[in-house]
A = this chain, B = another copy of it.
Amino acid sequence: MAEMIAQISCASCPLRKLPAFSRVTEGEIEFIEKFKMGELHGKAGGAIYLEGAASPHLFTLLSGWAFRYKTLPDGRRQILNYLFPGDFIGVQTTLEVAMDHGIEALTDVRLCVFSRGRLNELFAERPGLALDITWLAAREERILDDNLLAVGRRKSSERIAYLLWHLADRAAESGLLNKDGSLDLPMTQQHLADTLGLSLVTFNKTLQRLRRGKFFSFENRRLEILDEDAMMKAAAVYRPSQPTRPLI
């Protein structure tokens, strides 16, 4: 599915428009340019990483949607998280270790390819960028924490409300919302069920039940959150109250 294409300048990278990337300096751009190996285009449904294969590459998602997943021997699949433009792909694994999860494109994607072997160069020469990478990894870990809480301890209706709210939130960050605030999701209900540890049937039936609440709409893969408070309540989310007491 993969097709390598010619170098494109980082200075004109679409990601630079995102607020999260605005403070990257000119010197850093210049360095990234050297670090970049090329650009990769993938088709919807194609594999970016295969489970169990080793890959010498790191990627940044330039455009499109993808997801990370793991499977059990008998085929049961768990989607770990969704990847949005600007997300870094592949820090999870080290040089020697084989990928223990797969990555698949949900839409056509454009990827920026980096050399994994030169990562220590980046750390040595551009500590600012290194810190950014670590920060991205930490953010991904927080998302995983949230997902684990949802799958482990929320009931089906809460899980669904949580996931839809979460996706809308991340999409907003990445500037993927439509003008009217709605969001077109590329994944099927099977994907969403596999994210939440639910069966497709349970996902669908619970979704029907949630739809009757009217605080969001989700038809033909178009999601719109109509009442955020109601949504958060349905998701059993709370904004933690102010710090109880600082330690040491």
Q: Which of A's residues lie within 8 Å of B, judged by CB?
A: 2, 4, 40, 47-55, 57, 68, 70, 72-74, 76-78, 80, 91-94, 98, 100-101, 113, 119-120, 123-124, 127-128, 130-131, 133-135, 137-138, 140-142, 144-149, 151-154, 194, 196-197, 236, 238, 240-248
> Considering residues A49, A130, A145, which has the most beta carbons from chain B within 10 angstroms of its beta carbon?
A145
Q: How many copies does the complex hold?
A: 2
Contact A142 B240 (CB under 8 A): no
Q: Which chain B residues border A197 with CB–CB below 8 Å?
A: 151-153
Chain B: CB-nearest residue to A73: B238
Minimum-distance CB pairs A-B, first 3: A152-B197, A52-B240, A53-B243
Contact B148 A144 (CB under 8 A): yes
Task: Tell me how far the C-beta of A111 lies from the nearest C-beta in chain B, rounded to whole angstroms.
Answer: 10
13 more CB-based (< 8 A) A-B contacts, given A52-B244, A72-B236 = A40-B248, A47-B247, A50-B244, A55-B246, A57-B248, A70-B148, A72-B149, A72-B154, A73-B236, A91-B134, A113-B248, A148-B151, A152-B197
